[in-house]
Amino acid sequence: MEGVAPLAEEGAKPTGVEPPTAAAPAETVAVPPGPTAEVPGISREPAAQGAQMPPPGPTDIHAVARQIDPDTFKEYDALTQRRDTFRRWIDELQEGRDDA
């Protein structure tokens, strides 16, 4: 067939491509900070036998956020209540117009 490259023979290596080699210890790449980075207050050392673990905190993200900044959530709750009131008023007005 014209325009089709012939199939490579079994075991043939592509030209101009070097196989990967194992990196020497001096050539290792530094891992950027992330989930595996050191976290302040958390030790990677195994817990001592008989040591007590601190009680688990709340697992609900909303509860954690409310603990972090309760004043913000007081305002948020007030605004949510106002929003619900306005929605109720709009629904009541629409029902009144539908009945008329």
- The pLDDT, as a whole number, for residue 91 is 96
- The pLDDT, as a whole number, for residue 35 is 58
- The pLDDT, as a whole number, for residue 50 is 61
- The pLDDT, as a whole number, for residue 36 is 57
Q: Looking at the whole model, is its pTM more than 0.95? A: no
Whether the Cβ atoms of residue 92 and residue 84 lie closer than 8 Å to each other: no
- The pLDDT, as a whole number, for residue 96 is 87
Torsion of CA 79, 80, 86, 87, to 10 degrees: 160
Give the pLDDT means over successive 10-residue stretches in the chain (100 positions).
Answer: 60 64 58 60 62 71 92 96 97 88
CA gap 76, 73 in Å, rounded: 5
